[in-house]
Amino acid sequence: MKHGRKKPYTEIGIKRLPCARCGDPAYSQWQTCADSNLWRPICKRCDIALNTLVLVFMGDPKIDEKIEAYRRAIVKVPSNHIAMNLL
């Protein structure tokens, strides 16, 4: 069962959970209206992939620059991770 809840997880609580997508240790959380506004734990790699997906959807002209800066800010992510295959 994938974790999710109506209230945001605490900083300590999120680190105890697996990523809702790939199962790696969670780092952050996302909430989506179409998912009953449940907060879902996600790992750093999936967070980067999700941010990339959103920037692509929005047609941001500086996707590569923004994602590379975000990636450097949180972690070096290999491009062969399961979440990166979304794009």
How many domains, the chain?
1
Query: In which domain, by residue range, is 53 found?
Result: 11-75
Residue 85 lies in a domain: no
pLDDT mean over 71-79: 72
Residue 19 lies in a domain: yes
Q: What share of the chain is helix, strand, coil (3-state, %, to 5)?
A: 45, 15, 45
Residue 42 lies in a domain: yes
Sorting pLDDT into bands at 50, 70 and 90, what band is 80? Answer: low
Residue 18 lies in a domain: yes
CA dist 65 and 35 (Å) reads 29
Residue 6 lies in a domain: no
Residue 83 lies in a domain: no
Residue 41 lies in a domain: yes
pLDDT of 86 above 60: no
Span 2-27, pLDDT tens digits: 788 999 999 999 999 999 999 999 99
Residue 23: which region, alpha, beta or left (left: phi > 0; alpha: psi -120 to 50)?
Answer: left
Report pTM: 0.79
**Positive or negative torsion for Cα 35, 16, 80, 53:** positive
Strands 39-42 and 28-31: antiparallel
Residue 2 lies in a domain: no
Q: What pLDDT does 74 receive? A: 87
Which residue has tokens 């907060």? Answer: 39
